[in-house]
Structure 1
């Protein structure tokens, strides 16, 4: 539902304080290196070492907590849809770890004196509906009066300590699967410039508001060695984290990567977000692109995503079956690459045009 009577273009409000993108991976790495190491706790099963988006803390032999937080400025103009996107994005980190969302807290920054309160009401309603779909409980939140609207969630989930999935377990012979198409960053940048039709806005919004719940539940019985969700660092950035964390090399096939309609056209027209270019600059020394893949094609593979799909490294013999099962369950899954033994412990990415 669009609050047409309010005549507010939410995405234009983010220009006051920046794009609302994540801090780039290069800058973030430099900052984090300056932070002293915290208390060593044997119950902290997943911390900052593997660049996973969620932490995991063991409470008992059969119970651990998954904790994460995410928020950002509006990337769509419909307040209800923005709330749904933000909620799905934050919940995704728990699904990527193999966990089940349990409770959520709203994080709100809103110019309460200058924007209609009904807009915030719609944002919160959209998030609440998505949280309800996930089966989690909304337990509260925190709000501040800010000139620029921002919204997100802090999420706590549960998982068995022996069933945690990180981005650091991929093995040679694994196949790589993604569960949503990419190109979201280029399309949401285009929304701010009024370049998309209502139907195209609905399509990209549908991708972002789709929970990774079904994908996570579908992959549960398979031999998944590593998993993460594709968000701000883009497909290549998150694949590189998986390669480095696992000590492997990963080869992706460009022609197999699902891309949303018009992404190439809009990227060529100049609607490539700064976060996507930052991602490319961060990964370019660790990625070998086929000579036929031009700069635009490389940018698309590095595109900064909001509420993207899961990136799954599954035992090679089970990959086709898992893709078929995901598709049967309504997930837009594609087999896009494979894992090899690394030439170095740092890991690398190779992007080919086709397997042949």
Structure 2
């Protein structure tokens, strides 16, 4: 736990939610975005490759290369959230890895990031903010991504993240709308981050396996997916596995069949669900996906774990990824977006 002048500070107690569980519920967000159509959401010349249409992980535009060379795709994203752990340095690392993940989820390579910091300056000392920023800087350095400043505001609730710009090959993007029947589904990180983080917030227990998972970059998973010829992927974050799987299946015009027994989970995750450490964000995720999901014989705890709001989760790839478990497959579109078996 972070200490300031030998006094313990639990950052999670200064936030109404934690990590990606504090996102606006997906149904409400889609209602808001549904009417936003204008010059910034479409491109007559085709230079905007990925925009609002399918709710993908980042925006992608193409830039013509000087001298008639191959075009280059620019990937742009932003992500920030309230404290997910009590340790300031770890929170910074987790938030940075999560923001960078959106670029990796598109098959890109991050180039430069700027910090986004909200801080209750009259409540929490700035030496804690420095630790948050140091954590973000260290993870960005691991990713080979420059950090070029940023923006800060005085806010009653601490928040941190990054806006990230990356590059990609426009002919080798990972998108959420290119899945097709017959492709297997791979998941590169286990589930359970949300319930373990919620237990941490409630009890102060520290779960090293959760921290290690959240700070791990999705760089290698993205490279492996591209090397295997994958074109369809997304990262699993605040909307849970079921929510992101529904969005991928809907965008691709297919149905996703999920083998629930094959889905990997972190040690302690099922126990955390059993003991009731389930966030409101997770319950809202489950409520949102229910009309589009055939739950089969899945019990209530399994449904909650599959809808668990992840923070800096793994990549969900339509294709086989070396070292990642296959958790299902895409089939021709049926009555539901997602079917549990």
Q: Which consecutive residues of structure 2, in runs of 5 or more, have no partner in the other structure?
A: 65-69
Say whether residues 1:118 and 2:121 are aligned partners: no
Deviates more, 1:159-168 or 1:305-314: 159-168
Aligned with residue 313 of structure 1, among 295, 298, 318: 318
2:115 corresponding residue in structure 1: 106
Q: Cα gap change, 1:337/1:16 in structure 2, threshold over 3 Å: closer, same or farther?
A: closer
Task: After TM superposition, give the deviation of residue 148 of structure 1 in Å.
Answer: 1.0
Is contact 1:231–1:304 with CA below 8 Å preserved after alignment?
yes
- Residue 335 of structure 1 is matched in structure 2 by 326
Structural RMSD (CA): 1.8
Structure 1 residues 272 and 297 mapped into 2: Cα distance closer, same or farther (>3 Å)? same
Check the 8 A contact 1:171/1:225 in 2, yes or no.
no
CA 1:220/1:19 → structure 2, altered by over 3 Å: closer, same or farther? closer
Task: Output one character per residue of 1:64-121: Cα deviation in whole Å (capped at 9) or x when no partner.
Answer: 1100000000010000000000000000000010000000000000112221211001
* In structure 2, distance between residues paired with 1:152 and 1:195: 23
Deviation at 1:245, TM superposition (A): 0.5
Give the length in aligned residue pairs. Answer: 332
For 1:294, the equivalent position in structure 2 comes to 299
Alpha-carbon distance change, 125 to 17 in structure 1, aligned in 2, over 3 angstroms: closer
| 1:55 and 2:59 correspond | yes
Are 1:261 and 2:270 an aligned pair?
no
- TM-score, structure 1 as length reference: 0.89
Alpha carbons of structure 1 residues 225 and 160: separation in structure 2 relative to 1, 3 Å: closer
Q: After TM superposition, where is structure 1 displaced by more than 2 Å over at least 4 residues in a row?
A: 1-6, 15-20, 34-40
Counterpart in the other structure of 1:7: 8
Q: 1:119 to 1:49 in 2, by over 3 A?
A: same
1:272 maps to which of 274, 278, 293:
278
Partner of 1:330: none
Instruction: Please name the residue that 2:25 is paired with.
Output: 24
Q: Would the aligned equivalents of 1:17 and 1:148 in 2 still touch at CA under 8 Å?
A: no
- Normalising to structure 2: TM-score of the pair? 0.93
